[in-house]
Amino acid sequence: MFAWMAQVFRCVPTDAVPNNKILREYMSRPFMATEEPMLACEELRKIRGFLVQFPFYFLSEENLYPSINSKEGMMPVELWT
């Protein structure tokens, strides 16, 4: 649905990035706003209304819990959910 947005900008967070390895690759690719600004402006002129992106699977394959050795890791899990 928002595939063109990823071409014009390098939007993060996005569902196209389930882990940190893919995030590094995703951020290293060139995007239209810096490579071809005139073409990017043409794409943006096509927008009518508001765009809202809510990614459900951004970094879904990563363990985002704090380290058990940290003070945050000693707290109950319910505190962080």
Which residue's structure tokens are 């939007």? 11
Express each pLDDT in 4-51 by its tens digit. 666 787 888 888 899 999 999 998 988 888 888 899 888 888 878 776
- Please state the φ and ψ torsions of residue 38, each to the nearest 5 degrees: -70, -40
**Number of Cβ atoms within 10 Å of the Cβ of 32:** 20
Are 58 and 17 a contacting pair, CB within 8 Å? yes
User: What's the pTM?
Assistant: 0.65
- Give the span between the Cα atoms of 37 and 54, in whole angstroms: 26
Please report the pLDDT score of residue 62 as a whole number: 92
Q: Structure tokens of 60?
A: 């879904």
